[in-house]
Structure 1
Amino acid sequence: MKHLLICLLFFKFICPWSTEAVGVLTEEEDLEENNGDSGWASFETKFGKLIKRSQLSSSTTEEAWTGRWMPERTSTKKPSTSEEPWTGRWLPEQTTQKFHQAQVAEGGQLKSQFSPNYKEIDLSYLRSDSMGRPDKDCDDGKTNITIDWDQSPINFTCYNPLHRYEPNYKYPAELEEDLIPPAYKAAHLCMDYRIDYSKNIPTYGTHRPLWPRYGEYKFLPKQRWLHNLEHGAVVMLYHPCAHAVEVNRVRKILTGCIRRHIITPYTLMEEDRPIVLVAWGAKLSMSWANADIIRNFISIYAFKAPEGNNARDGQFDHMLEVPAQVISGSDLNDSNICPGQWF
């Protein structure tokens, strides 16, 4: 015990605490003890990476603020101050890589034009100046139209006429709305690009430059009638196996309400609601025809579109069977919706 006390007194008064045991020095102490030659290298050899006290204090030189606050950044790399230019398009609906995926045929293969990161999208292929004007190099309504539909009769034929979709009056009509930002503008893609959608029945999105003439078609692909929606039209879709009486009822109401309508068979819908009315940003799915609900849908959603004031007829007429007519009691602009019909 006596020897221990002697050792403690020896270290306290004769050999002060060694800097090697502490492992932290001020720069002044370090330079003073090493005659101006910093000895941090020897400390780092023994104790590993050390932190000087001067490094713990706040620096007098501040880096220029980059306009971005990234507390999660742990690297020493400075954040970039260069921002990529805005592309002019806002696509909040692109929640997956597949959504609105444009593809171009090259050498028999399909090449994706959209990357997983939207900021890397190349928009040089867009040709909005061809909208409404037949252009053989882009869209003339005749060239390469099989890219949207291969002309298969499966899209307009009921192959089991004995198994028609009977109306079920227990199923009410279903209304769905899509929230579309006011700044959204749909792109017009030429016929050398394929257009895919994330939903079976889209209510807005990229489409072809030439919009179809209004009326009823043997079949019309969605890449075409989406352009009519942008002009405020209402599109009626019905499954080929839907009950003919209910289809005729909806058809009669729609054609008696507005001239700007499209009617076409369609197979990508629910069997219990095989009739669908589509407007820009909204759709109404039905099992049977409720006249009041149908008229209300038309009066509320028709012409509520980015180009709803455009009443011009279209240029595409492939498979058109019954051209639309001006409604009696209204005009070419459909100024009077559902004239003479009770609401």
Structure 2
Amino acid sequence: MFIWHYLTLLCLGFALIDAKSIKKSQANLLEPTLDPDEKLGKIGKSPPDISNDVQRVQVPLGATPGKNGWQGKWFPHAPGQQQEAIELKMKSTTEEVPPLEFTTKDGWQGKWFPQAPGEPHLVKKKPLVDNKTKSGKSTTQDTWQGKLFPQGPNESHKTKQSSCDDGKSNLAVDFDPNDIRDSLNFLCISSNHSLYQPDLSREAILTEHFLPSAYLPPAKCLNESISYSHLPATNGPYRPMPAEYGTYSYLPPQRYVRNLAEGAIVMLYHPCAFPGQVKQLQDIVGGCLYRHLVSPSLALSPQRPLALLAWSRSLEMSVVDRQLAADFIQKHAKQGPLAPEELSRLIVKRQTYKEGLLREAHLVNTADDYELCGYLQEDM
């Protein structure tokens, strides 16, 4: 009896413990998630009516969707088409290719390169000797209708001369150094030398010709003749190639005017002038600057057979005046429309006219003549 009561109490104890654990576990359970419509109904609002906007489709439980009920596209394939796609792919990869014999000349309308299938490879060889030249005769102008450059067969080589100015060709337009008739330009043929005797009472004449500041003299080729409105010429057209600086047996004005344009001083003397006076003036000019030219000229008068020329200016003298000559050079040298800032860079590269050149000019200080007549100022 005692044992029975003891078992009864033990069972009641276990039952009480289980009830407490169940109640405690219910306190930790989350509240079940409600449908949006149920939530709206729970808080007192009616759910919206969407029966007109949404079409509900019910699919029986366990049924699989098929092609008849689906209007869209299937990816990667519709149900039941997987095996068909694999079979089609295998069929396309095992498609037979027609043999080469079907693609022959009969079925091809174009051209084959280098030859059609089945034809042997042909190599065309060009004969080394033409049938027309087997006899050993070379092609000449008789068989060639065009022009041969630079000359035809069996013709001597011809050098085309410059049509403008190279300083050596067509010089007879101005002065021909090889023609004895042009030697009258530098020979004294006067029978009365006393006309050229120095006269201390005869004053020097300074002549200036006005030119616009923008005036640029034209350079003319040797196919045109050049004449001047005044003598001795100090401005106007000239030949493109300048003369080499120095002393000449004769230098035509068409040449030295080009040098005047770049700031040179030209000394002219009559062939009948007294040699002592010529030598004295020549020493003054050669000692004042590098860019100078010396030449005889018949353009000077017997009364004043000595002259110094600059661009658009001339000084004619009967007797050499050392101070007057130095002042003229210092004032008017290195002036002209073509006067360069640095002549030394030009004279090294350019070509010059040298026909009749006796002695080249020597440097006084530099080719740019930065100081004019410096030694004369020390002596005076």
Are residue 316 (structure 1) and residue 348 (structure 2) matched? no
Residue of structure 1 in register with 2:10 after alignment: none
With structure 2 as the length reference, what TM-score do the two structures score? 0.53
Residue of structure 1 in register with 2:369 after alignment: 334
> Contact (CA 8 Å) 1:213, 1:316: kept in 2 or not?
yes
Deviation at 1:137, TM superposition (A): 2.3
For residues 371 and 312 of structure 2, the distance between their equivalents in structure 1, rounded to whole angstroms, comes to: 22
Cα 1:188/1:243, change in 2 over 3 Å: same
Residue of structure 2 in register with 1:278 after alignment: 309
Specify every segment of 5 or more residues in structure 2 that has no aligned partner in the other structure, as ranges. 1-160
For residues 283 and 208 of structure 1, the distance between their equivalents in structure 2, rounded to whole angstroms, comes to: 20
SS at match of 2:268: strand
Match 1:212 to one of 243, 252, 259 = 243
Moved over 3 A (4+): none
Residue of structure 1 in register with 2:265 after alignment: 234
For residues 161 and 339 of structure 1, the distance between their equivalents in structure 2, rounded to whole angstroms, comes to: 40
CA RMSD of aligned residues (A): 1.4
Q: Which has the higher strand share?
A: 1
Residue of structure 2 in register with 1:155 after alignment: 185
For residues 223 and 162 of structure 1, the distance between their equivalents in structure 2, rounded to whole angstroms, comes to: 30
Show CA shifts across 1:166-218 (max 9, x none): 10000111101111101100000001110111112121110000000000000
> Contact (CA 8 Å) 1:161, 1:241: kept in 2 or not?
no
Deviation at 1:161, TM superposition (A): 6.8
Q: Which has the higher helix share?
A: 2
> Contact (CA 8 Å) 2:287, 2:375: kept in 1 or not?
no
For residues 328 and 241 of structure 2, the distance between their equivalents in structure 1, rounded to whole angstroms, comes to: 26
The 5-angstrom pairing of residues 196-275 of structure 1 reads: 196-275=227-306
Percent identical: 34
Moved more, 218-227 or 162-171: 162-171
Deviation at 1:250, TM superposition (A): 0.5
The 5-angstrom pairing of residues 108-147 of structure 1 reads: 136-147=162-173
With structure 1 as the length reference, what TM-score do the two structures score? 0.58
Matched AA of 2:336:
A
SS at match of 2:353: coil
Show CA shifts across 1:305-328 (max 9, x none): 11222523351100000100101x
SS at match of 1:196: coil
Structure with larger Rg:
2
